[in-house]
Amino acid sequence: MSDQPSVSDTPESGAVASDPATGRSHDPATGHPRPPRREFKARGSFVVRCPGCNLPELNCLCPYRVEAQSVARVWLLTHPLEHHKPTNTGRLIRDVLPDTQVFTWYRTAPDPGLLALLDDPRYAPFVIFPDDQPDYADRVVSIEAVTETRVAGRIPVYLLLDGTWRQVRRIFRRSPYLDAFPVLPLHARRETRYRLRKPASSEHLCTAEVAAELLNQGGDADAARVLDDYFDAFNDSYAASRRFEKIAAPTPAMQRLMARRGA
């Protein structure tokens, strides 16, 4: 999940083009103008947010932002509605892993930047999706395929479909340009620690948790630990802000991030 727009903000790249003066945008497939969005009135719209991390200023996340390196890359194919949600965790991945790419999904207008990367022989993309239906069973691989890719000298890529479960399933089913790539289901015994949205099941991890688990299983343990700590800092900071509470002392995860930042 991510709050950030795609790599390009032009209609040709699949993102919504908008005029800040009028609030109007254009459909990426047809170029036709869309009406302006209504003023945001959802719960929390009155909160003063940090421009750097988008969290309430009461518990800003910026002091804990730390970058890490990984062999594997993460690409996010994000439903357009997710970009406007401050509780989206996809943006945490890009904070930690600077090579992360974020693309906006539109059914009728695939992002040409993503299509170009999918055709780049340097990368070996894996579509992260459950192996719960028989019609694509021939595409399902295990985490060992990531190791094999690394040994072969290619860069493994975790292509995360970022949105609600309903949105993710729609992205998977209605993106034929992904059909040629292996499907990597995440098998993890951990339960979600995400407290900002109610998951359909405790076994349904949020986007940042999925990325951390994949990094850990695929051999990028250090990056996984940093992302896990950063997610915990985000989770605790946002939850406390919802209660209008200031975190009095850094949590253990925050302390580890600050120590790494100061190293």
**Exposed, middle or buried, 108 (CB in 10 Å: 0-12/13-18/19+)?**
exposed
Higher pLDDT, 211 or 21: 211
Please tell me the predicted confidence (pLDDT) of residue 216.
95
Cα angle: 224, vertex 191, 128; to 5 degrees: 60
Under the phi-then-psi rule, with left for phi > 0, alpha for psi from -120 to 50, and beta for the rest, what region is 14? Answer: left
Q: How far apart are CA 232 and CA 192, in angstroms?
A: 11
Instruction: Retrieve residue 189's tokens.
Output: 């015994």
Distance between CA atoms of 257 and 178, rounded to whole angstroms?
36
Residues 240, 192: Cα–Cα separation, whole Å? 18
Tokens of 210: 């999925």
**Which letter does DSSP use for residue 125 in this model?**
E
pLDDT at 196 over 90: no
Mean pLDDT on 236-251: 91
- How do residues 213-222 score in pLDDT, each as one tens digit? 999 999 999 9
Lowest-pLDDT choice from 22-26, 89-93, 250-254: 22-26
Over residues 217-246, the mean pLDDT reads: 93
Q: How confident is the model at residue 194 (pLDDT cuts 50, 70, 90)?
A: low
Averaged pLDDT for residues 198-212: 72
Closest CA to 6 of 83, 65, 72: 83
Write out the two tokens for 134. 């028989």
pLDDT(251) > 80: yes
> Mean pLDDT score of the chain, rounded to an integer?
83
pLDDT in tens, 37-48: 444 444 555 788
Question: So what's the pLDDT on residue 3?
Answer: 39
pLDDT at residue 243, rounded to an integer: 86
Which residues does residue 77 pair with via DSSP β-bridges, in sequence order? 103, 161
pLDDT mean over 218-247: 93
Nearest alpha-carbon partner for 177 in 76, 108, 122 = 108
Instruction: Give the residue-averaged pLDDT of 122-148.
Output: 96
- Name the token pair of 88: 């989206």
Distance CA 185, CA 172 (A): 13
Of 196 and 73, more confident: 73
Q: Which of 18-32, 114-128, 145-159 has the lowest mean pLDDT?
A: 18-32
Structure tokens at 110: 């695939």
Distance CA(171)–CA(160), nearest Å, equals: 10
Report whether pLDDT(201) > 70.
no
Under the banding of pLDDT at 50, 70 and 90, the label for residue 31 is low
What is the pLDDT, as a whole number, of residue 192? Answer: 74
When pLDDT is cut at 50, 70 and 90, the band that residue 85 belongs to is: confident
pLDDT reported for residue 26: 56
Contacts of 84-87 spanning 24+ positions with Cβ under 8 A: 84/3, 84/40, 85/1, 85/3, 86/3, 86/44, 86/49, 86/54, 86/55, 86/238, 87/196, 87/197, 87/238
In contact, 71 and 156? CB cutoff 8 Å: yes
The whole model's pTM is what? 0.81
Q: Residue 197: its pLDDT value, please? A: 55
Q: State the average pLDDT over residues 132-140.
A: 96
Tokens of 258: 């600050």
20 three-state secondary structure:
coil
How distant is the alpha carbon of residue 5 from its chain centre?
11
CA-to-CA distance for 203 and 185, rounded, in angstroms? 13
Write the single-letter amino acid at 212. A
Q: What are the tens digits of pLDDT across the range 94-129?
A: 999 999 999 999 999 999 999 999 999 999 999 999
